[in-house]
Structure 1
Amino acid sequence: MKLFGVFISALMVFWTSSVCGALRAPHNVTIQTLNMNYVLKWAWDPEQAPKGNVTFTTQYMAKFKKKKPKSRQDWRSVCDSSPDYSCDFSSAELHYLGMWLLRVRSQIGSDVSPWVILDFCPDRDAVIGPPSSVNITPVDGLLQVDILDPRSYTNGSMRELLPNMYYFIQYWKRGSLMQPNNVTSANNVVILPELENWTWYCVRVKSVDDYYKKISDFSPTYCTQTDGQTPYWQIFLIFLFSLVLSFGAILLLFRYVSEVVKVIRSTFYSTVPRPALIQGFLSDMPRLLYADPETEICFDRVDLLTPEPEAIKVDEIILEVHLPPETSQQSDRTHSRHSSGDSGVYSNEGSRQNDLGDGKMDKLVKKIARVNELDEGVQDMRV
């Protein structure tokens, strides 16, 4: 018996030393979830492996396969020899209603630790998230809340996996110390009732599923102002402001217009007398600008400029007859100049009589004599 006791003691020491010298497994293994995002996390003390760098391997398998022999168990690796203390299982696309086994172990070279296995059911264990989007719009003095469902890993709606999910909506008047109002609805569009016009309200929403008592965190808080009929005093103030603004704009416009009119008047209607040459040019400018360059201009009055009036003789004056524009079709008629010794008449194929008689010729001579008494004039003018 004594020898048997010694043998047992030696065996216990050997077993204890071998166990104490083995690589330890990760501890505090948990899974962090949100909708269909799953991250396996664990803790590790670096002092447990002072002789080398430790790595970790994680695997998963459907729970019903555990009843099969170990040789037929289908474990699939997600993170293989990773130095991180976590592993994301979202890419594994674990079915939301399935039962799964997750496991992790540590490794240094050829030394490995035992597996740490975790039982996981997403429908039971996964946390539901708040709405992915909340939009608030004023409508006829009320607030319309548009809610977008939480999204899965594949960007699908969580309502497809949780058909009984609904929303808990909390709203209150901004800055008020009163108890907030609560509304529950399974719809994605909700109208908040009994609100005051032109008042700021704050709203936040969270998702709820009663089957496993899942309640998400609140969404961010959104604040907006309700609308409604505009008060009469605001309408009066807006009208008064518009009236004052319009009156000021008219005064400003009148001031600038009057200045422009003064500048134009001082430029074109100056009180300072202009030289005769400039005044005559300005008065004749419209007729010169709009006259047809191919037609002749006839003047009612022609002033004759002669430096020595007494030296002008009747027989030295050359008369020129201009045809009016309407008779331009008679282009075959020729013009000729005649001296004082000629009869002063036009001939048309030798068949016409003298158009200018002796009496008319006397009157013309008298008029020419009168012209000799003027100090100014022109002898011949063509435009």
Structure 2
Amino acid sequence: MKSCQCYLFRPPSIMSISSWVCLLPLIFYTCLAVGAKPASPQNVNVLSLNTNYTLTWDWDYNSSDALPVSFTTEYIPRFKLSSKRVVVWNMACEESPRRSCDLTPLDLHYLSIFILRVRANVNGSHSDWVQKKFCPDTDAAVGPPSKVDLGPAGGHLDVFISDPLTSANISMREELQELYYHILYWEKSEDTQDLRSRSLNSSVNMVTLPNLKSWTWYCVSIQTRYDFYNKFSSFTNPICMQTQGTLPWWQIVLYFLASLLVFFVLMLLILCGSFWCYRIVKLTLYPPIHLPKHFQEYLQDSPSSDVPRLLTPDSESELLCEVTVCPEPLVLEVHQPPPEDLEEPHPDLEPDIRHSRQDSGGSNDSGIYSTGGSSGLRPCPSLSHEGGRTSCQDIYDPQQVKMKDMTPGIRSQLIIDEGVLDMSV
């Protein structure tokens, strides 16, 4: 038992004491670092223009001994702080390394009051919150007009002003109904010490500057103002324009002559272009074709002249004639057959072209044939009796009969002649 007590209370060795002495400062520094809070942000401020809001602050980086630092920003409407319910802050920027936080996307109401707070985060430790009250209606600055234009109005100048815009590209008159503009204008001059500016206020977006000189350059700069909270913006960049007036007579004459010259040149160009296009189209669609020389010699008055030859009455009678084409008349040949007692027909008569017909009496025959040329009918001039037979001694020359008008509808016609009883055509 004593041995145990001696062992428990044995004095430490020299090596163990030196180790504890070296570890004490490290342990003390670690405990101090864990228990200490980082420094809080300083100079917390809100930069605002129209409805664009940005919370900014400063922070001493030497206090963190080069450790990484981040910042957290929260906001809440002020009326909720007095509520008996649990206060819930809205997050704006969480663990951001920047020393600013954009509040524009939060769409804060322009007439409300908000409480903003920010703190630093170092190695898992948080600093104290730093709060800032912010009311856009009273704290937000108003911006200059978004656009300014000038227009001549005779001897005056018209000024066209566009309202400053919100972050949603809406006119600031939606938030500030009593917004107006302070217009500053002066005569442009190279001598800056002799500038005499004049001003006027207007709540409308179009203003006519009075009492200006003709044909003189003037410059204009405009400022936005809101008197309820004594807000005013910076002036816009100066823009300049020359006024107009009555033109002198020599300028009118000069402009008139210049316009006539321009008109004449334009018409000349148009005519030349039209003629050139006409020539190209004509040569393309209707290329030149020359007549043969013997045609040209006949049509011209003389070989070396371009005058066309004129037709005289004699030449007309030679050149012009009337041609009538008539059909060839049909010639009908009628032959008188020989008597019945003739045994042998005349050898010149062709039996294949003779046609015979026996009527109801059966005593007489007739023969008809047609030729392409002339035809005739001629009786036998003399008869000779040989052995009780009668023969035609001579060759008959048939008599020609011309038919001028023959109707296709008529199928037969009766021709009565000497030696012919009837005939069918």
TM-score normalized with structure 2 length: 0.55
Letter in 2 for 1:120: F
1:234-287 CA-partner distances (Å, limit 9, x unpaired):
111112334555677899999999xxxxxxxxxx9xxxxx9555443678xxx9
**Larger RCO, structure (CA 8 Å, separation 6 or more):** 1
Letter in 1 for 2:236: S
Deviation, 1:207, is: 0.5
Matched, 1:178 2:195: yes
2:94 is matched with: 80
Deviation, 1:127, is: 0.6
Contact 2:187 2:196 in 1 (8 A): no
Deviation, 1:41, is: 0.9
- Structure 1: state its 5+ residue gaps: 1-13, 258-267, 269-273, 288-297, 303-319, 324-330, 337-346, 351-383
- Of 219, 222, 227, the residue aligned with 1:205 is 222
Q: 1:223 to 1:348 in 2, by over 3 A?
A: farther
Matched, 1:137 2:151: yes
- Of 37, 52, 55, the residue aligned with 1:22 is 37
Counterparts of residues 264-303 of structure 1 (less than 5 Å): 277-280=295-298, 300-301=317-318
Q: Distance in 1 between matches of 2:128 and 2:202?
A: 49
Deviation, 1:193, is: 0.7
> The residue matched to 1:47 in structure 2 has which SS?
helix
Q: 1:225 to 1:113 in 2, by over 3 A?
A: same
Deviation, 1:231, is: 2.4
Q: Distance in 2 between matches of 1:230 and 1:54?
A: 72
Let me know the Cα RMSD of the aligned residues: 4.2
Deviation, 1:117, is: 1.1
Q: 1:278 to 1:220 in 2, by over 3 A?
A: same
Q: 1:25 to 1:281 in 2, by over 3 A?
A: farther
Q: Distance in 1 between matches of 2:37 and 2:139?
A: 33
Deviation, 1:99, is: 2.0
- Of 53, 76, 101, the residue aligned with 2:68 is 53
Q: 1:249 to 1:184 in 2, by over 3 A?
A: closer
Counterparts of residues 236-315 of structure 1 (less than 5 Å): 236-243=253-260, 277-280=295-298, 300-301=317-318
1:18-46 CA-partner distances (Å, limit 9, x unpaired):
79942112222221110111101122343
- Of 47, 59, 63, the residue aligned with 1:32 is 47
Matched, 1:95 2:94: no
Q: 1:277 to 1:207 in 2, by over 3 A?
A: same
> The residue matched to 2:93 in structure 1 has which SS?
strand
- Of 381, 387, 404, the residue aligned with 1:349 is 404
Matched, 1:234 2:286: no
Counterparts of residues 314-353 of structure 1 (less than 5 Å): 322-323=323-324, 333-334=326-327, 349=404
What is the aligned length? 280
Letter in 1 for 2:298: G
Q: 1:203 to 1:335 in 2, by over 3 A?
A: farther
- Structure 2: state its 5+ residue gaps: 1-28, 275-287, 302-307, 309-314, 330-401, 406-425
Deviation, 1:210, is: 1.2
> The residue matched to 1:30 in structure 2 has which SS?
strand
Q: Which structure is higher in helix share?
A: 1
Q: Distance in 2 between matches of 1:185 and 1:244?
A: 47
TM-score normalized with structure 1 length: 0.61
